[in-house]
Amino acid sequence: MMGSYYMHEGTLSIPQTWNDASRNFFTWKQGDEALTLAVIRDQLDDEDFDLEQYARDQEKKLKDQLPQFRTIEKYFDEIGNIPAFFMEFAWEPEPGRLHQFTTAFRSNNRVISLTGSVPGKMLPKHKAIFEDIFRSFTART
């Protein structure tokens, strides 16, 4: 049986047995400012999804994998009526600093992660742009 996969440019018919592991990247550059937004989907293996445990696991993975990782802020809130985890963090890849703000939430049988990135230091106006984008999410029914 085929299912419809919707994207900005159109629709594909994909067998329903396939897993959507797509990633989307959006970029914006003006002068010296550059912003990137990543949308990542992870398939859930079981129905017992615990957002708080997922958040702890993700933060630990980042600490273990990213050089000079540091959490700036983390909290739980909602996007629409969907419980969500938010975390702002920075780390030091070569050749310089990367400052990121992310949210993760469950949508049907997936965890959706939205991550905004800025080279150097994220300004309050950058964080506000990303948060507005994050909170604009509306789940398809």
Name the residue ranges covered by the structural domains of the chain.
Answer: 20-135
User: What is the CB-side half-sphere exposure of residue 109 using CA atoms within 13 A?
Assistant: 7
> Which CATH number does 20-135 carry?
3.40.1000.10
Residue-wise pLDDT tens digits, 21-49 = 889 999 999 998 899 999 999 888 877 88
Prediction pTM value: 0.89
d(CA 44, CA 53): 13
DSSP 75: E
Strands of 110-119's sheet in order across: 23-30, 33-43, 110-119, 98-107, 82-91, 70-79
Query: What value does the CA radius of gyration of the chain take, rounded to a whole number of Å?
Result: 16
In 10 A of CB 104, how many CB atoms? Answer: 20
Nearest CA-CA partner of 97 in 116, 114, 117? 117
pLDDT lower than 70: segments of the chain: 141
